[in-house]
C-alpha cells in the first residue's frame, strides 16, 4: 500500500516546524498547532461527541509535542507521529473518563433506525451515532481510514499495531456498522448519486 499520503513538501515543512519547536520557537508551534487543530478537532469531536474532551486531547497531544519535539528524528511522517500521540491520549482520556467502555462485539445490538436516510447529511448523523457503539480502536481505525485517508500501514504506525490488525479492526467495524445501519447493506441509489455529484 502507498506510504506517501501527504505531499513531500508538506512533510518537509512540518518536519522543519518540529525542529524549530525543539529549539523553543513558539511561532512554529502555533503554526503546527493550527495546522492540526482543524483535522483533529473534527475527528476527535466525532469520536467523543464532547467539545471539551476533544480539546483536552488536542492540548494533551501538543503538550507532548512541545516537550518531545527534540526526540522526533523523522523516522515516520510528522502526521503519523502526532496522531500516534493523539491516539494514545484519546484512548487514555476516554477510558479514564469512563465515557467509552469496551464493548463486546458479540453483543447483539438493535439497528439505530429502520428508516432510509433522506440525504447524505442524515446518513452522516447516523454514522456518527453508530460509531459511538464501536470500541475506541475500531472507531479510530474508521476515522483514520475514511476521513483522514491514511493507508493501512500508516494507521498501523499511528495505532502501534501490525497492518493485519488494522484490517481486522476495520473488518469488524464494517460488520458492526452494517448491523446498526441496515441501510448500509442496501445503499440508496439516490444518495450514492448525490455524493457523486457533490
Residues forming the site for another protein (CB under 8 A): 1-2, 5, 26, 30, 33-34, 37-38, 41-42, 45-46, 49-52, 55, 58-59, 62-63, 66, 120-121, 123-125, 127-129, 142-143, 145-147, 149-152, 167, 170-171, 174, 177-178, 184-185, 187, 191-192, 195, 198
User: If you count DSSP H runs as helices and E runs as strands, how many of each does the chain have, helices first?
Assistant: 9, 0
Measured distance CA(5)–CA(86) in Å, rounded:
18
Minimum CB distance to another protein smaller for 16 or for 51: 51
Specify the residue, 16 or 195, whose C-beta has the smaller distance to another protein.
195
Instruction: Compute the residue count for the chain.
Output: 198
**Taking the complex as a whole, how short is the minimal distance between the CB of residue 12 and another protein, in angstroms?**
21
88: number of CA atoms within 13 Å, CB side?
A: 14
d(CA 27, CA 17): 9
Task: Count the Cβ atoms, other than its own, within 10 Å of residue 41.
Answer: 15
Nearer to another protein, 92 or 146 (CB): 146
Amino acid at each position: 500500500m502507498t506510504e506517501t499520503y501527504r505531499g513531500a513538501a508538506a512533510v518537509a515543512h512540518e518536519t522543519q516546524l518540529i525542529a524549530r519547536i525543539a529549539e523553543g520557537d513558539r511561532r512554529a508551534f502555533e503554526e503546527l498547532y493550527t495546522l492540526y487543530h482543524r483535522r483533529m478537532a473534527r475527528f476527535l469531536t466525532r469520536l467523543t461527541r464532547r467539545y471539551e474532551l476533544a480539546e483536552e486531547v488536542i492540548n494533551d497531544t501538543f503538550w507532548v509535542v512541545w516537550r518531545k519535539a527534540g526526540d522526533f528524528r523523522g523516522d515516520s511522517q510528522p502526521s503519523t507521529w502526532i496522531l500516534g500521540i493523539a491516539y494514545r491520549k484519546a484512548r487514555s482520556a476516554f477510558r479514564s473518563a469512563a465515557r467509552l467502555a469496551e464493548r463486546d462485539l458479540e453483543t447483539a445490538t438493535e439497528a439505530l433506525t429502520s428508516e432510509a436516510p433522506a440525504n447524505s447529511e442524515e446518513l452522516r448523523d447516523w454514522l456518527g451515532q453508530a460509531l459511538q457503539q464501536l470500541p475506541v480502536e475500531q472507531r479510530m481505525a474508521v476515522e483514520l481510514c475514511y476521513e483522514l485517508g491514511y493507508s493501512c500501514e500508516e494507521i498501523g504506525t499511528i495505532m502501534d499495531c501490525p497492518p493485519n490488525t488494522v484490517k481486522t479492526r476495520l473488518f469488524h467495524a464494517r460488520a458492526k456498522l452494517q448491523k446498526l445501519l441496515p441501510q448500509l447493506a442496501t445503499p440508496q441509489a439516490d444518495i450514492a448519486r448525490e455524493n457523486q455529484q457533490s
